[in-house]
Amino acid sequence: KDNKNNKTQQNLGKSGLRVSCLGLGTWVTFGSQICDEMAESVMTVAYDSGVNLFDTAEVYASGRRSSYVVTTKIYWGGQAETERGLSRKHIIEGLRGSLSRLQLDYVDIVFANRSDINAPMEEIVRAMTFVIDQGMAMYWGTSRWNAVEIMEAYSIARQFNLVPPVCEQAEYHYFQRDKVELHLPELYHKIGVGAVTWSPLACGLLTGKYNEGVPESSRAAMKGHAWLKERLCSDEGKKQLRKIKELHLLADRLNCTPAQLAIAWCLRSEGVSSVLLGVSNTEQLLENLGSLRVLSQLNPPLIAEMDVLLGNKPRNAKKEAKS
């Protein structure tokens, strides 16, 4: 495994694809929160700063297409039953639609965005293999799948000589740890599946912007994000805010921002190939990219101190039983 402390790129799982440790996610911020000019400038600064992984965006970067990695997700499409899910029909048509919107000939990775109980796993794996054989995508991955589903897709790919998934996209931050720290490392060692993680700042919660309430310009105040506001006001949310305040003191000690500490903490995890950043301006982007400098300060005693503070380190029952 590459030493992340001195490299800004590494392999995606055990595939041959090299991705930057930090990628640009565009789920909320592009299209709804920021204007085209700012989006363009964020993309350009990211690319010029060594970011090569763009999680679905119109890529404005002036670089050659072969110098960056673009991904897209398939699941939600139109209103009709046939325009969503992971049927062969929707995977192929959905990806074609995505390519025409992105004005690209191919994406590097196409993600099956959540699993679909209505589509047989063999159909999904065959359709993903087909779009790769057709040159519409280079690799495929999963998003929000559990370990059992990923393992099933891998086994079917091996059984029928099809293409297996190379990575899982999972939510990962201080308060969401089990999947990335317990279940995915096992898959990484067994079948080489890497992890691309999203929401390192838990929708902005970890930056401290909600410590004194919900600012009007924040994501929790946006239409369609009432769930975030509710989460902040719950007992669990208040408990998390108290922990966040303590983590801020720790960030001060390290001479970094709370956001940089939170992102570096995600990057330290084994099997995490890339952490996707969600930013709405170039200042935020540059601040977040500074987390690579903080990574080298995260030594074992400091990680242990953070684990005590968070009080939620996942326990591996299998390993404990062995010892």
| C-alpha torsion angle, residues 209, 173, 26, 139 (rounded to 10) | 170
Q: Is 106 a catalytic residue?
A: no
DSSP 9-76: EEESTTSS-EEESEEEE-SSIIIIIB-HHHHHHHHHHHHHTT--EEES-----SS-GGGSEEEEEES-
Among residues 47, 60, 106, 154, which one is catalytic?
Answer: 60
End-to-end CA distance of the chain: 25
Rounded CA-CA distance 40/42 in Å is: 5
**Cα gap 302→292, rounded to integer Å:** 16
Alpha-carbon distances of 116 from 45, 75, 88, 134, 264, rounded to whole Å: 37, 9, 12, 23, 33
d(CA 240, CA 248): 12
Residue whose tokens read 């392999």:
11
Which residues are part of the catalytic machinery?
60
